[in-house]
Amino acid sequence: MSLSFSGRVALVTGGGAGIGRATALAFAHEGLKVVVSDVDAAGGEGTVELIRTAGGEAIFVGCDVTRDAEVKALLDATLAAYGRLGYCFNNAGIEIEKGKLAEGSEAEFDAIMGVNVKGVWLCMKHQIPQLLAQGGGAIVNTASVAGLGAAPKMSIYAASKHAVIGLTKSAAIEYAKKKIRVNAVCPAVIDTAMFRRAYEADPKKGEFAAAMHPVGRIGTVEEIATAVLYLCSDGAAFTTGHALAVDGGATAI
């Protein structure tokens, strides 16, 4: 089955690297115009340059998703450039804690919840009215397998991703009859710069991460991008309110 898209514009937050960059490139490969957003201007502009070099069309709009005014400005810039919005991949997120629950700080809690939860909420808050005005569209939020179960020494992060799934399911039901589909993608350990920074000092940790997945390896950013595009595509027209685990079998254990 080939992917097909009835909308022609995709918005990707956290598009400056990793899963966001791979997904922006995948959207562009399918012929969509892409709005790449990130707090990292160099990374975001780099993604746009990769898209343009490959013959695609894209713009970069800087945005801190924890700030309402900046999220609204992101939507305004998208409409100013392309006139409409078809697909939203709310991917911006952080992961900074490394200790047990009682060892966490209020600053860590506020930072993680601010980006991972408030950021997704603000993005949908501004995206949904535009999708309603157009007669529909699709949203995919980045959750995690940590949002489907426990994540020892990452309790705040796990809570934030459980919240993303809650926001996703609730919005999906609220707007199901308005032709707006809302789903989440739940990656396990993926080969990103964040992963390499975490494990490059201790190769044994990398081996442990691979062993967590029954398939015997960690995932790639392209595999997550493929899942996101499927959830956005017309082929997933009967899929909404779903949290799709892309995890090498990790949650099946």
Q: 208 lies in a domain?
A: no
Q: 173 lies in a domain?
A: yes
Q: One digit per residue, pLDDT tens: the chain, 253 residues?
A: 568 898 899 999 999 999 999 999 999 999 999 999 999 999 999 999 999 999 999 999 999 999 999 999 999 999 999 999 999 999 999 988 889 999 999 999 999 999 999 999 999 999 999 999 999 999 999 999 999 999 999 999 999 999 999 999 999 999 999 999 999 999 999 999 877 776 766 777 778 888 899 999 999 999 999 999 999 999 999 999 999 999 999 999 8
Q: 213 lies in a domain?
A: no
Q: 203 lies in a domain?
A: no
Catalytic residues: 157
Q: Are 153 and 97 in contact (CB under 8 A)?
A: yes
Q: What angle do CA 197, 201, 205 make, to 5 degrees?
A: 90
pLDDT of residue 1: 53
Q: 133 lies in a domain?
A: yes
pLDDT of residue 94: 94
Q: 252 lies in a domain?
A: no
pLDDT of residue 208: 80
pLDDT of residue 201: 66
Q: 165 lies in a domain?
A: yes
| Element holding 210 (H helix, E strand) | helix 203-211
Range 105-111 contact pairs with CB under 8 angstroms and sequence separation of 24 or more: 108/156, 109/156
Q: 13 lies in a domain?
A: yes
pLDDT of residue 28: 97
Structure tokens, 137: 């569209």
pLDDT of residue 2: 60
| Sheet with 33-38: strands ordered across | 58-62, 33-38, 9-13, 87-90, 137-142, 180-187, 243-246
pLDDT of residue 148: 97
Domain residue limits at 225? 9-190+220-247
Give 33's strand partners: 9
pLDDT of residue 198: 66
- Nearest-CA neighbor of 88 among 143, 24, 43? 24
For 6, phi then psi, to 5°, come to -85, -25
pLDDT of residue 106: 96
The domain tally of the chain equals 1
pLDDT of residue 195: 78
User: Per the confidence metrics, is the pTM higher than 0.75?
Assistant: yes
CATH of the domain at 21: 3.40.50.720
